[in-house]
Structures are given as C-alpha cells and as structure tokens.
Amino acid sequence: MYDFDWSSIPGALPFLWQGMKISLAITAIAIAAGIAWGTALAVMRLSPAQSLSLFAAGYVSLFRSVPLVMVLLWFFLIVPQLLRDVLHLSHATDLRLASAMVAFALFEAAYYSEIMRAGIQSVPKGQRSAALALGMTPLQAMWFVILPQAFRNMVPLLLTQAIILFQDTSLVYVSALADFFGAAYKVGDRDGRLVELLLFAGAVYFVLCSVASAFVRVLRRRVAA
Amino acid sequence: MISVRDLYKSYGELEVLSGCSMEVRKGEVIVVCGPSGSGKSTLIKCVNGLEPFDRGEIVVDGVSVGARGTNLPKLRARVGMVFQHFELFPHMRVIDNLTIAQVKVLGRSGEEARRKALALLERVDLREHAEKHPGQLSGGQQQRVAIARSLALDPVCMLLDEPTSALDPEMINEVLDVMVALARDGMTMVVVTHEMGFARKVASRIVFMDHGRIVEEAPTTEFFASPRTERAQQFLSKVLHH
C-alpha cells in the first residue's frame, strides 16, 4: 500500500498560490481577447465579403485541427523571439507568460467564434431588417442590435468554454512556466511527493470547476426563464 | 414621392413580382391588399431596399433605390417602416428603441433625441412605459412603440407591412387608431393590410395584387363599390363577409 505523505503541501501553499494567479491571469486574458477576436471572426465569417469569410473559415478550421499543446509549443519557440526583435527587449525578459497568453487567446478565439456565430444566427432576421430600416449600416446593425442579443443568448456557452479554458491552461507546463499545475509539479518533484501534489492539484481544479459549472447551470436556468 | 416602374423579382424559378408599377403621391395613403403569397410584402420591402429586385426601377423622393451609387442607409433613414412582428429591440428599453437611430444615424444629441422620443410616446399614449423593456408590453403597445420609433426619424413616408396581423383582435383597434391619426396628419403611407375598415376610412387608393401582379388599382370608393376584376370581387367577398 502506498504511504501518503501530505506534509510538503502546507509549506508550498504560497508558491502554489503564485501559480494559481498565473493560471487565472492566462484564463482572464484568453477569455477577454478570445471573445473579442472570436466575435470579430464570427462577423467576418458571416460577412458577404467572400475574402473575409474565407479567411475566418480557414482560421477557425486551422486552429480547431491542431492540438492546443502544439500551438503552445510553437508560440514558445517563435513569439518570444519575435517580440524581442519587435520591441527591442533584452534576452533576460521572460516572455513565456506573454506568449502563453497570446497563444491561448488566438487558439480560444477559434472556439469562441463558433459560439458567437451560433449566437448571431440565433437572433431573428427581422431584427436586422428593423435596424437597417432605421438607416443603420450593416455594421451598426451588428454592433448595436445583433451582437448584444447574440452575446446574451450565448453567455452560458461562453462560460462553459471558459471553464474548459481554465483547465487547459495547465498545458503551459510544457514551457516550464509555473502556473498552478506547473507549481504543484515542481514542488512534488522537489520533495519526491509527486503523487500527493498532483492529487491535491487535481482536487483543486475539480472543486473550482464544479463550483463554476454549478453557477453556469443556475445562470442557464435564469436566461431560459 | 414613391414611384415603382415595371418591377420584377424572382426566387430561383418562382417569380414573386412580375411587372409591378405604382405611383404614390405626397400625402396619399395607399392600401395594398390581396391573398397571401401575392407579393405584397415583397413589394414594399423593395421600396426601401430591404429586398433586392431583378428588374425595373423604384424612385423614392427623387432617389433611385436600385442604382449602384445609392446610399441605402441614408435613404432608409427617411422612409419609416413598421413590421408585422414589431421587431422592437428586446435588449433596450422603449426609450432607447426610439433614440438609438436618432443618435447613431442622424447624429442628434442624446438630449434632443430623448425629447423627441418622449413626445412621440406621448402621441401614441405610452409615455409612462418609456423605461420598460418591450417584452413587458402587450402586442398592441409594442406595435405603437414601433410606429413611434420609425416616426422619430421624421420620415418623408411610411411603409407598413401587415401591422395588425400578428395582434390579438382586441388590440387591433388601438394600432389602427394611431395609423388613422397619422394618415389624417397627411403622412404619405403605403400599408399592406387586410383591414378593409381602415382602408375605407383613410385610403386614397387601393392596390390589389395577385400572383405577383398588380391586377387592379382604383380609388377607394370605386374599388369597394365595383371592383373591376373577378379576382378582386372574390377577394372582397371573402374578407368582407365573415
């Protein structure tokens, strides 16, 4: 029988909390930027301009056809170098966090754009006609009339996607970035208590995501009502 | 004010408008009627460019709707439109439904737009509902808000697409009353409706459509007294005797 020893966890809590803050920061940025860019992609996808529509369709299918972990790796290899060259930063600047945020935002945008596309299509066609009949341009109709309703209809799905995203941030461990999962791994590795630390990390993810999912369920019922 | 000349439109094989022509002079109220699927709604949606058409010409207040260089948003801002299903913006309060286009399209100040909106709500007797959302109003109230919303842009003419056919019977009159008042004020209107009482009361002329064609156009009294075509006679006997 395996002999559990949880004693290394209490002392590691401040370090784990630092990691959790990184996980939450990546999640927050990826949600905000991902929804903004994803909405823009959805609007392009539904636009009558064929070049925009094709670009958005290609973007979405590209990012949905490659594993997230590969996207992250590419970004760790390419983006820091690129940012250093563009912004003339020294090699000492740690850009792993920034490149993780960019990678997640671009990747998640592909998923958010599909949600927003469904959201836009869920708004009755007459709403667009009414907006146009009032003299709005197609973009004004989108911005003032269709998107607010699309967004509202899709809030539960957007939040569910955010929960998945929060779990996926653990993949940044491939860049040795100490997010919550990475921090837990490091502590476990250092103390030879990997099993305990990973079980603990798993329990934390489980509790946070379960609570968030329950919240989404309540919200969904209120949106439906 | 509105001139439609030899208009054609089809969806694939199906021809929905074949050679429609009509003239609407300033201050006239034209009622367009006919069996469902006769192309009435399509015809008035072509007038403000919401539906594209294949052939023919529409000129509204001197502007050609189908011409390439026409600024459609600018034209539509001058043509009021009221829809069968109201199409109020459900995420905005009633007052915001009335001000948004004034501010974003005409560039009026928020203060000016609000004053105008409240005056119009007063006119349709809904002043006290300004801060509510459309979902909290009855169908009749929503349609009156929709009429006020399109009046807020000071349109030169109004298109009304079956404005009472989605309403419960007890709410039809409150909307018709607003439309009658509007007609008496001299607004140029094209109304697609089956409300023959309204037509008799305020219409200058009746346009009767069937299978995508305007089969009869006559001054109101003449149309009701002695419709020339057999189709119009049949239609009238159906809508008037039940």
pLDDT (mean) for A180-208: 91
Q: With cut-offs at 50, 70 and 90, classify the pLDDT of residue B13.
A: confident
Q: Averaged over A15-43, what is the pLDDT? A: 94
B116 interface with A at CB cutoff 8 Å: no
CA dist B172 and A97 (Å) reads 62
Confidence class for position A85, pLDDT limits 50, 70, 90: confident
Q: Do A126 and B73 touch (CB under 8 A)?
A: no
Interchain contact B52–A (C-beta under 8 A):
no
Per-residue confidence (pLDDT) for residue A107, from 0 to 100 = 94
* A136–B73 C-beta distance less than 8 A: yes
Nearest-CA distance from A42 to chain B in Å? 21
Give mean pLDDT, residues B28-39.
Answer: 92
**A93 occurs within a structural domain:** yes
Q: Do B77 and A126 touch (CB under 8 A)?
A: no
Backbone angles phi, psi at B80, to 5 degrees: -75, 145
Query: pLDDT band at B242, cuts 50/70/90?
Result: low
The answer to whether residue A4 is domain-embedded is: no
Q: What's the CA gap between B124 and B144, in Å, rounded?
A: 6
pLDDT category of residue A93 using cuts at 50, 70 and 90? low
| pLDDT of amino acid A92 | 65
Say whether B101 and A127 touch across the interface (CB within 8 A).
no
Q: A-B interface: how many C-beta pairs under 8 angstroms?
A: 62
Q: Which residues pair with B23 in a beta bridge?
A: B3
Check which CATH number belongs to the domain holding A159 and give it: 1.10.3720.10
Structure confidence at residue A21 as a pLDDT band (50, 70, 90): very high
Residue-averaged pLDDT of chain B = 93
pLDDT for the residue A97: 85
Nearest to A117 by CA among A56, A50, A204: A56
| Residue A5 lies inside a defined structural domain of this protein | no
Task: Provide the ipTM.
Answer: 0.93
Number of domains in chain A: 1
Q: Please check whether residue A178 lies inside any domain of the structure.
A: yes
Q: Supply B106's token pair.
A: 């005409």
pLDDT the model gives residue A81? 77
Q: Is there a domain that residue A1 lies in?
A: no
Would the CB atoms of B104 and A144 count as touching at under 8 Å? yes
Query: A44 vs A40, A113, B32, B159, B169, CA distance in Å?
Result: 6, 10, 38, 31, 43
Answer whether B48 sits within 8 Å of A136, measured CB to CB: no
Pick the residue of A134, A140, A143, A149 with the most B CBs within 10 A to test the interface with B by mutation: A134
How many other β-carbons are positioned within 10 Å of the β-carbon of residue B225? 9
Q: In the prediction, which pLDDT does A222 show?
A: 80
Q: pLDDT by residue (tens digit) across A115-133? A: 999 999 999 999 999 999 9
8-state DSSP, A145 = I
Determine, yes or no, domain membership for A18.
yes
* pLDDT for the residue A225: 61
Q: Using one digit for the tens of pLDDT, what is the confidence trace for B166-186? A: 999 999 999 999 999 999 999
Alpha helices in A46-146 (DSSP H): 50-65, 68-87, 96-122, 125-133, 138-140
Identify which of A133, A140, A149 has the shortest CB distance to residue B90. Answer: A149
d(CA B64, CA B58): 6
Q: Number of H helices and number of E strands within chain A?
A: 9, 0
pLDDT at B163: 94
Q: Is residue A187 part of a domain?
A: yes
Instruction: Kindly tell me if the per-residue pLDDT of B208 is higher than 70.
Output: yes
Q: Which pair of tokens denotes residue A208?
A: 């946070």
Q: Find residues 71-130 of chain A whose CB sits inside 8 Å of chain B.
A: 124, 126-127, 129-130
Structural domain for A206, as ranges: 10-224
Residue A3 within a domain: no
Q: Which residues of chain B form beta strands (DSSP E)?
A: 2-11, 14-24, 29-33, 55-60, 63-64, 79-82, 157-161, 188-192, 205-210, 213-219
Q: Is the pLDDT of residue A64 over 60?
A: yes
CA torsion angle for B45, B50, B52, B53 (degrees, to 10)? 20
